Structure 1
């Protein structure tokens, strides 16, 4: 019995032990699976590598993006060296990731670990500049990623020159075969002393946005975009403004204005949805991430005149590499019409019909406000002597049955991607700027001649009809027709045709064609400048310019801007001048050149930089100004070895600049809006007199019965009036806003935009307003000024700057009020007890205004302005100018 009981206990014990062992194994397996799941991310997880070449610590850039050092991803760094740029181009979008980089003198590879086989973006950032002993012209190299040749014998400097850009971004989208991505840089063996350079690398997971597309010109043949490697060539917000990466729903794509790529004279019309908080109806085929919200709220169409539309196209031109297939993606959203067959149009790409009857309403399942996109593939070959270009054209469906309600076409967005060839190659030759520009100019000239011929034919037909009615009326009609043709031609020669003014177009083609040549062989400008401008401006020969600058020696360069380099020069045997020479690759050109001459030749003021003359010989565009010995205001505020300006000096410079702007707004015959007020456009001469410069973007203000000028937004980020940016309506208060940024820049001694700071501090205007509201203004002013400014003076100065930055223009002060307040602030600084006297003075000037007393400023340089400028040096005397502080 006992033995039997013991046997039972032993059996139960073994069973218990066995159960425990099984349980332990189960738990162990579960823990192992969990540990593997934790250690190995899911295939659907995302990765984001942002590498800043040549750095040693993490850096926060614009929009809060964090860039890490590139060293830990280098397979070997023995053949590489970190470098730092010594010059920051003003047009760089940010310091990161461009002001540092890594030089590679032999093959070097980066290794990235990807999480799953999903599509990724690779973005390569380049800043072509000389780094120590490494010249930009020698940076020839190749880049291979995942077995695909992205770049071959690539030169960043040549490419940037052709694109008229300060930096180059190459963006690729690919589907990796493995979870290990290798990106290899190899200096070219074809160039002696070549090296590779990289400033920034992005490797980011992205959604699958690409499928198959019909190959145009081949019946029922498609290309597989889903498995292809794509290079982004163009991404345009058609009819709208620039969209930064931060506004792209987390996908960090950048969208550009399409205006520079509109090819023909018929640019159509742009439109923007006037609905606030517009709700688009996305579908499963068109997810919300396909394009940003702003792309679908703006569009370009042909305009309301169906008769004109039937005889023209809405077209865009792009330069591409031959012998590649391109994926063209068009974005549409119909917000104007609600029924089908109301706007039907034909789509052609490189003269191949993609759609014969495109109807966006039909594509959107018979509803409006539904975004749709269409993908097409086209092969560009040079076998038939092709021009390496790609055109997208929209034309009303004139042969549609039944006919559409209106003859028009519409486009909201456009993207073009290059697809890898069968050898796994995406690389093309380096672009040649001159050839590219000449091709574009030739195409535009041919189209314009065709349009001119059609206009003349229409005028002849019209004159015949008028002649049949009455002989006298025929004569009058003929004269009117001729005048119209001549006027249109003259407008085109002067560059008023928007197509000619685009920054990407040839700078000199139009200018050269417009010049006449004298018997001496020197070109003259009678056909391009008004007689007044010619009379007030001196014509310099190119030989004088070369002699005065030692043949444009680099040692004479005193500045570089969007137009080109500025040289210190000498004319007439000893007179110092500043000579600004246009760069053929500049984004500014003929229009800015002509505007500068037309504006400054008619303006004379102590606080405006004087234009001495110009040279337009030998296809050069050169402007000659008074030499400003102390350079720009910015040079004396930060990142400089020059002595710090005292607070009084800063105030006096601000007052001088305000006087110049006040004269532009109220003292000239017409209101002149500067449009690019910033610290680099405020110059200081040897006597520390401030003068406003650079009138290339200036516009004549609205007439008396208008409140604004509608125009394309131009200016400098950080200083740009947000109301002007949103509504594209320019007023003199846009200059006031920009000047408010200048005032805070002077007070805080920091740039208007600093992407290296935390997100809330990037914009000086936003950060200064925040600090004022929180009572923290003392925390952000220049440390060199702390304790050196009278508190009441600081309060008045900050109040003035704050009002200038009001979101609505109507809430901002006039330039006259700004000037008065700055003069008041200077008196508070020098003589706090005398402030009441100044207030009384303004009260008397306001009373004088009520009695109709006028100012003594002039237009055209023929008044007593120069006679009164000496008295302007006196602070109290200056208030006599402010009789009408509100201007016109």
Structure 2
């Protein structure tokens, strides 16, 4: 069997439940090329010279540029560079499994060009990396830095030798590393089933207890990202939000366990995953009929010609009986669990609130198009459970070493779009109008362990290519420790607050970027002050909000925006690049959004109106951004000023939520609300919030309901020139919906283009958002799910019309009952998170933020 000779195959019972293991205390964090220090989390990093017997052929260097995505200067702002093979030596315990992490930050280092750096890394006899380029990897992933994590098999040795070897295939090449972590860990790996193979003699079982692995993905499914400091067992792992890897138009719904439920680690190690992983989940939803028509699907891009371990974490926290729900599990269209062996988590774990995990092995070939691991869940019908539903709490994917004890894969290839972008470096402010724009400062930690996963999303970035600066982009989140809100800003406070997360500009840099605040560069005026278009170093287009000195509100917004946005990164949130508090000026520097506000594209403008499908996709993008704020960030964040002028569009028509000046860190979900003075924009204000002065995330949902009707009807939220009953769009739309006359107020330009079923789902969703009481409104996750479904209904209708007119068969939907192959639902043919490729002529005018009728605040 291919790639199977190195496995220790044994005919034993298939059991993946491990006894509790106590983790020893050995943990070592090394700051390579520096004297050590403490990182942002307070963890101590030590100097590396003690572990490097000979440093004659190495050089200690300091990075020439601190990328905004760096959460800490330690260990990233210093590196040790090797011009010839060099070995670190660590004392270890025999028969002990170890976790090893390498931190690489391919910045600019004096006299060294990181684009020339290609090298190998070995741990003992195990090849971890070969011909590795941190610069290429970060470029392809649109990240500032990358972390590679490995789990090394137990050995008889009392020493671990880690060797860095510059590649002999290139001239002037060198190896480098910024940080190394070495942590004792329990051996959580054992016997598992090889998916796609069946052998009654046990040859379809794989024993990984004595193998080396590379961590590829680690996700807290349906829950917020978990930083290393909140991991368990001293393993300092990061667990990331799963939504970026969801495939198809269906996201399911997110669930959270009751706060009083005790998570009882009966049969597995507490080191398997923190409680927060088992307290949240993503399920298919409440509609059993709908659930039978699709799969909940995640997809991951991986290196070919390796075997991968897919670890699924489960905890049934809703039901206390067996056969309440059971699911089929498919990996790469092969059945991992199904039929009479469908996954009933309550039976597996023997109780409610009891965690369990299951491991499956899958082989990935080098056949073009097959270089992915696809996980699909669907309800099982064979066991006739009470509810047709499937759910998942957490997911990890590990690469298994091959027969040559190698884990090394190829460097990822940057997308064609990215390479074209980098070749189109703007020459000046006036000539850069047609170039791409940076999508934002990155959240490097959020894909620290991902090797090539984000290639499928093709997000653009721009880097300075003359060797002086590196600036990257991403939409995955950055997490830090912040208490949002508080006193007025001060230079010291803000510098500490945003250290490593966004750039601190001098007033001279701001004036140079905006041509000394030239009035010709003004692109709008808001409550904070004027907004200028500008160009900062490297040719990056930005929007600069300059505070009005007489505005007390501006001072408050200034600090709130920095505190919020410096720690948030998401594809559908506008990124804060930096700030300036210098020379009596307060300025905020953001991504430049080339297509301006959503509002100006749907009414009261001279531009062609957006099509219905374009409007729907923009609403979905904005909903994703708000859903992330409510559930995906470290704290629940309530925007408090959701409106069409705060939904901005980049050059690819990707929607991004902006203006966090009024935002609040929301309640811990147990508390339920935040008591606060009512602020927001008239026409969008939640009536319950207005009455009770108690802010919840449902207040954003109400405002978003108004946005949905704006998109449908092409009229403002308030129009005093209309008859009294029509002044408020929310009230008028609800009235028309109840009377059955909603068709009368739909924008005539799109009215005949909307599929009736799509319109029904969309309008139902908007009406529910406008419920008078927050408890009756859906969550943003449910809103997002319904909008994705509405889009699918529209695309299906459009596809049917196209086939009818052309007589040609196009994309189909294939499904099966419980069987050997998973069914798929791919009506849209597009993964969640793909960029909106809408055929509109490029319009270079741009409004930064809430610049149209910025009233009601």
Name the TM-score class by shorter chain.
0.5 to 0.7
Partner of 1:373: 357
Unaligned runs of 5+ in 1: 1-42, 439-494, 496-501, 512-548, 580-599, 614-621, 634-648, 664-673, 701-708, 734-800, 817-858, 863-884
- Output the CA distance in 2 between the equivalents of 1:179 and 1:200: 22
SS in 2 for 1:62: coil
Aligned alpha-carbon RMSD (Å): 5.1
2:223 aligns with one of 232, 240, 256: 240
- 1:263 matched to 2:244? The reply is no
**Structure 1 residue 351 displacement after superposition:** 1.1
Q: Distance in 1 between matches of 2:276 and 2:542?
A: 42
How far does residue 146 in structure 1 lie from its aligned partner after superposition? 1.6
Q: Are the aligned partners of 1:607 and 1:690 in contact in 2 as well (CA < 8 Å)?
A: no
Looking at both structures, which has the greater relative contact order when contacts are Cα pairs under 8 Å and sequence separation is at least 6?
2
CA distance 1:50–1:604, change in 2 (3 Å): closer
User: Which digits, 9 at most, give the CA deviation of each residue in 1:378-428, with x for residues without a partner?
Assistant: 11112x445311111111223x0x422222111000000001111111100
The answer to whether structure 1 residue 680 and structure 2 residue 664 are counterparts is: no
Q: Which residue is 1:429 aligned to?
A: 410
8 Å Cα contact 1:556/1:569 also seen in 2: no
User: Equivalent of 1:419, from 400, 412, 433?
Assistant: 400
| Whole-angstrom CA distance in 2 between matches of 1:806 and 1:183 | 46
User: What does 1:506-545 align with in structure 2 at a 5 Å threshold?
Assistant: none
Distance 2:67 2:546 in 1: 15
Q: Secondary structure at 1:162's aligned position in 2? A: helix
Does the C-alpha gap of structure 1 residues 574 and 64 become closer, same or farther in structure 2, counting only changes over 3 Å?
A: closer
CA 1:732–1:723: 2 relative to 1, 3 Å: farther
Per the alignment, in what secondary structure is the counterpart of residue 680 of structure 1?
strand
Q: Answer yes or no: is 1:113 the counterpart of 2:22.
A: no
Matches within 5 A, 1:827-866: none
**Which residue of the partner structure matches residue 348 of structure 2?**
363
**Residue 315 (structure 2) pairs with residue 315 (structure 1):** no
Task: Label 1:131 to 1:576 Cα distance change in 2 as closer, same or farther (>3 A).
Answer: farther
**CA shift digits 1:448-484 (9 cap, x unpaired):** xxxxxxxxxxxxxxxxxxxxxxxxxxxxxxxxxxxxx
The TM-score, its normalising length taken from structure 2, stands at 0.55
Matched residue, 2:766: none
Cα–Cα, structure 1 residues 574 and 266, in superposed 2: closer, same or farther, change >3 Å? same
372, 376, 380: which is aligned to 1:389? Answer: 372
Structure 2, unmatched stretches of 5+, are 1-21, 420-438, 440-445, 448-452, 476-501, 562-571, 600-620, 643-661, 681-715, 720-853
* Correspondence 1:47 to 2:26: yes
Structure 1 contact 261–316 (Cα < 8 Å) conserved: yes
Question: SS of the counterpart of 2:89?
Answer: strand
How far 1:129 moved relative to its partner?
A: 1.1
1:293 aligns with one of 269, 275, 278: 275
Matched, 1:350 2:332: yes
Of the two, which has the highest radius of gyration?
Answer: 1
Is the counterpart of residue 135 in structure 1 residue 57 in structure 2? no
- Hey, what's the Cα distance between the residues in 2 that align with 1:612 and 1:62? 32
- The correspondence of residues 588-627 of structure 1 with structure 2, limited to 5 A, is 604=526, 607-610=529-532
Compared CA separation, residues 578 and 309, structure 1 to 2 (3 A): farther
- TM-superposed CA distance for 1:131, in Å, is 0.6
1:556–1:427 CA distance, 2 compared to 1 (3 A): closer
Q: Tell me if 1:200 matches 2:183.
A: no
> 1:95: how far off?
1.4
When you count helix as a share of all residues, which structure comes out higher? Answer: 1
Mapped partners of 2:411, 2:592: distance in 1: 34
Please list the CA deviations of residues 198-249 of structure 1 after superposition, one character each: whole Å capped at 9, or x if unmatched: 1001111111211111111222321111100010000000011110111112
8 Å Cα contact 1:661/1:815 also seen in 2: no
Task: Output the TM-score relative to the length of structure 1.
Answer: 0.53
Contact 1:73 1:112 (8 Å CA) reproduced: yes
Q: CA deviation at 1:330?
A: 0.2
Task: Provide the rounded CA distance (Å) in 1 between the counterparts of 2:524 and 2:272.
Answer: 51
**Deviation (angstroms), 1:553:** 8.2
Contact 2:278-2:315 within 8 A present in 1 as well: yes
Partner of 1:302: 284
Is 1:325–2:307 an aligned residue pair?
Answer: yes
8 Å CA contact retained: 2:528, 2:553: no
Q: CA-to-partner distance for each residue in 1:153-207, whole Å, 9 max, x for gaps?
A: 0000111122222111111111233111100000001111110001001111111
Deviation of 1:430 (Å):
0.4
Aligned length: 542
Q: Does 1:731 align with 2:640?
A: yes
Contact 1:323/1:380, CA 8 A, preserved across alignment: yes
Match of 1:170 among 148, 159, 166: 148
CA distance in 2, matches of 1:572, 1:658: 24
